[in-house]
Structure 1
Amino acid sequence: MPGRDPRGTRGRRTAPAAARHDDRRRTFPAPEPLTGTQPASSWWGHAWVEALEDTALDQARLTRGRAYAGRGLVDSITITPGRVTAYVHGSRPRPYRTEIRLRTLGDDEWADLLAAVAARPEHIAALLDKDVPHVLASVADLLPAAGDLIPDCSCPDDGFPCKHAAALCYQTGRLLDQDPLVLFLMRGMGERELLAAISQRNVTRSAAQRASDAGTFPTVDIREVLARGPLPMLPPPFPLPAAPGRPPAYPQAPDAPDPLALDLLATEATARAHALLTTGVDPIAPLTAWQDAVRLAAAHPGSGLTASSRALYRELAAATGRTPTTIARAVAAWRQGGSSALTVLESAWDPPAGPFDRARPALVAAGFPDFRPRDNHLSTATLQLRYGRDGLWYGYESDAGRDDWWPRGTPNSDPVEVLNTLLGG
């Protein structure tokens, strides 16, 4: 790669290995680049895309957003009730936090929709087969119409939508093609909650039908049961579950804590308790209070100094004596490589001769002669490689002329591979 400019194209964030499932918060891997002439293939996917296109004030931004989706610049997509969130790469080193908001359904609307699904077995079969019957769309506002989708982005473009939001919208249409139950999550009900509600209505309807067919049920006087003698011993306790339980769904209410934050803390508590019961080891015990705060913030959906996480970072900053920017940078490091990456971010050191000294000749041979050493760092104006005590290299980026380094990419024992990841190679 002779002559390649390290200040060139920025690479994509590495996608998770698999989709992360949570009933009211699901994160899907970074989608493949958009191809073909249609951004969605299902009728409900088309309805999603058309809802934003029909509201767009600038068709040119839609075209650029379609191009961004075609270049694979949309990172992993997180779906929560009323919100679709992703990082979308643009011209700057750090990606923009982009989201699309929509209204969640009210209790009466859910009651009508669930009743319509449970009333016909073929509707349940269609949903389980990843299909959405057209009749369900007319029962409640399951599918968005023009004006229902509200885009927002941390970029400076005030277009409606900007190209980053348009790219996210197009990739979300493809996501809906693959899993239409995500529509129900967007409107406020997770997959497990949805299937449980449908099942409950089926049981109620079946019981009512049997009662109607058989008349009154026979009864037994409780005094006769007690007169038969002592009750048998209780059965032994259930064995420990194979996985932690799921917390309840927390509603959004005025002046109440953030339901996603409550869900996050409850999920963390159940996972920690399950580990203690099954292994006798507390997985959080080795961490300092600061490391645990960063770990929790890194598990929170979304990151960066944007609307949904500013409050969390401000609270953590007040509790730990740091600034929100420091916490955001620490979160980026934790997502890069856990506690080891956080140590690399916060501690410079003088590495012994060996892999660190061999890194510069390897970079020169690969066409990158401009890196200069300092402590355990090799730097250009916009790129930096940091050597950790674990023998791995960690990538960093900064805007030219600023000493503002942010973790990027995946750690690797080969500095050239880390640099190629930063440059998208």
Structure 2
Amino acid sequence: MITARDDRRRTFETVPPGVEAQTWWGRAWVAALEERSHDAARLARGLAYAEEGHVDAVTITPGRIVAYVRGSRARPYRTELTVAAFADAEWGDVLEAVAADPAALAGLLEGEVPTSLADTVLPGAGELVPRCSCPDVGRPPCKHAAALCYRAARLLDEDPFVLLLLRGRGERELLAELARRNAAHAARERPDAEPAFPAVPAREALARTGLPPLPAPWRVPDSVGLPPAYPSDASGPDPLALDQLASDAAARALALLRTGDDPLAGLTLWQDAVRLASAHPTAGLTGPARTLYRDLARATGRTTTDLARGAAAWRQGGLAALTVLEEPWDPPAGPFDRARPALLAAGRGPFRPDRNRLSARSRQLRLGREGLWYAYESRSDEEDWWPTGTPSADPVTALRG
């Protein structure tokens, strides 16, 4: 119902259905306007306008209710109802009366205007002043102001804080002030009572005191313990995946505890999936391991073959080896000028260069940006290269793998 609201301005795009006030304070509001009018016909027209939905969004601020009311002309009329807002001293009396009366406070919080405030907050005859931009110069209220009054009564029915806003205070500030005053009343009534919750005196809490030294940190464990055994359940997660994630998280936590750095924090989703898959060699995968490869490949949008090749590279040399697998680059000529004669001298035959790669039938060497050579193998009749062996700064050693 409310589309815009701050503590001292509320706008109601729609109003509760019906035009007849339902509460005693809503009816008192309407009576304040009706007692001012001596034209029953205008009031009847205003009631009809309200029933037919001629009143647009209603905005309420301290001392004022404003809305545009559509009449017989195309352009709606700006209509308002004003009532005097309370001064601070008057508000002090109102708040004190409510805070001192538990029944009044409870009624207000439950959405009712306490009867003890009836003579104070409700406008009396002549106190509610209507204004309208229509050409009706007769004695107010005009039919547009009457329509606004009937619609405003339904807002008051729903929320008594609307009436209090008219008198000058918003709901949040009222509730905060009532809570403060109510606590003060309770403290005066039971000055020596202990609070019903654990507490320390404010002076003690704010006193400057020395803090004891922190205890010595626990000794860093030598290794990661075994994770718990996860039972197999058709409706639950895969036990192998849970075991691997638990073991991996524990190993990373131990490394972080020892060094203060997590070297895996910057990995992409694909790189981390390759790292996890590398713990399971592809040859002779068990059923659960095949499931793990399938799920990791699906999550990264790759094939299981891509994942297996990447895992082989990770086992070969970690992230650097995976980068060599996936990112060709153009190195300077010096490493190749030294590598090719060394390979010939070792009886490894001629290698043809292509970017950072040296290839010969079923063997290949790839140069990483850090200066290491990585060996690859393939069937001689196809270009299907797989990482093998251990990287080395010497191409012959890397090829021997």
Q: Normalising to structure 1: TM-score of the pair? A: 0.45
Q: Return the structure number with greater relative CO, CA threshold 8 A, min gap 6.
A: 1
TM-score, normalization by structure 2: 0.48
Max Rg structure: 2
